[in-house]
């Protein structure tokens, strides 16, 4: 017996490599978030790759749907004219028409939106993950940076559903979505403040609220915080991020409306 015990003790334990992909958690995050975030919190390595790849894929699907619809609208002569177009000089109107014709190519319809979308997915995940880790730590959270990045990645899955819903709506109607989110409730965009509010409300929708709920559940599960502290940290983080997105969109719109320049492509 002693020799058998010593033989069994001397046998090496086989090392099991951690799984890189966890597609079995996708439905769990949607339907059983608390139990699924407990599994995510028990991991000692980064398990964020699966949701980030899903978000990247659904974003590319939305780009393809939007690009094909814009291309069909351009072929049919359906061009959205900017405000005050009737006051442009003939030279400015000609420049605008040339710019719209130039931007109907595949570079502007598919390549550039795809690159921009990929940057938004990955940079947004890093920004939200860093901010929420900082705030959760300030509120007494006991998790590390890795757990915060895992939490943000999996809690962002509602945006993948939003991309698919928008892609389906665009393909079904053959029209672009001009007033996303709560932008329809914004005041008239005839002032700078109105434009900023419209941009801000366009970023707020049901899927953002869904992400807030998942982040709160995940923060309580993975960080051991009270409900009040988890809600406060999540709301501050997303308020800062959405405000930065709205400010960037506002400045981009203002700069784009200053002059009409024919693009290089």
- pLDDT tens, position by position, 106-131: 888 899 999 999 999 999 999 999 99
Nearest partner of 146 among 66, 55, 41, 53, judged by Cα: 41
Residues 6+ apart with CB under 8 A from 124: 241
**259: pLDDT strictly greater than 60:** no
The rounded distance, in Å, linking the Cα atoms of 211 and 234 is: 10
Domain ranges of the chain: 33-40+47-75+87-256
Would you state the pLDDT for residue 110? 92
Closest by CA to 141, choosing from 150, 133, 153, 149, is 133
Q: Residue 18: which H helix or E strand, with range? A: none
Mean pLDDT of the chain: 83
The vertex-175 CA angle with 170 and 181, nearest 5°, equals 65
Structure tokens at 82: 């900017």
CB 185 within 8 A of CB 162: no
Is 174 in a helix, a strand, or coil? Answer: coil
> Higher confidence at residue 222 or residue 131?
131
Q: How confident is the model at residue 199 (pLDDT cuts 50, 70, 90)?
A: confident
Give the angle subtended at the CA of 51 by the CAs of 47 and 56, to the nearest 5°: 130
Residue pair 154/37 in contact by the 8 Å Cβ criterion: yes
Average pLDDT over residues 32-61: 93
The dihedral sign for the CA sequence 254, 256, 259, 260: negative
Evaluated on CA atoms 147, 152, 153, 157, the torsion sign reads positive
Question: What Rg value do the Cα atoms of the chain yield, rounded?
Answer: 24
Answer for the pair 136, 233: CB distance below 8 angstroms, yes or no: yes
Is the separation of the CB atoms in 263 and 102 below 8 Å?
yes
């Amino acid at each position: 017996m002693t020799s058998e015990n010593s033989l069994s003790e001397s046998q090496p334990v086989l090392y099991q490599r951690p799984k890189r992909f966890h597609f079995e958690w996708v439905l769990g995050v949607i339907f059983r978030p608390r139990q699924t975030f407990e599994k995510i919190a028990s991991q000692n390595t980064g398990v964020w790759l699966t949701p980030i790849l899903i978000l990247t894929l659904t974003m590319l699907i939305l780009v393809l749907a939007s690009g094909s619809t814009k291309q069909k609208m351009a072929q049919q002569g359906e061009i959205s004219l900017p405000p005050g177009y009737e006051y442009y000089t003939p030279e400015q109107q000609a420049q605008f028409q040339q710019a719209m014709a130039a931007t109907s190519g595949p570079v502007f319809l598919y390549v550039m939106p795809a690159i921009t979308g990929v940057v938004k997915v990955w940079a947004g995940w890093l920004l939200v993950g860093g901010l929420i880790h900082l705030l959760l730590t300030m509120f007494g959270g006991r998790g590390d940076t890795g757990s915060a990045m895992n939490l943000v990645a999996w809690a962002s899955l509602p945006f993948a559903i939003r991309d698919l819903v928008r892609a389906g709506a665009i393909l079904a109607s053959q029209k672009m979505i001009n007033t996303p989110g709560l932008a329809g409730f914004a005041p008239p965009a005839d002032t700078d403040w109105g434009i900023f509010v419209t941009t801000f409300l366009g970023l707020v929708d049901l899927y953002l609220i869904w992400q807030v709920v998942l982040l709160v559940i995940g923060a309580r599960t993975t960080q051991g915080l009270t409900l009040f502290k988890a809600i406060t940290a999540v709301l501050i983080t997303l308020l800062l991020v959405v405000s930065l997105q709205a400010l960037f969109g506002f400045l981009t719109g203002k700069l784009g409306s200053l002059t009409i320049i024919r693009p290089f492509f």
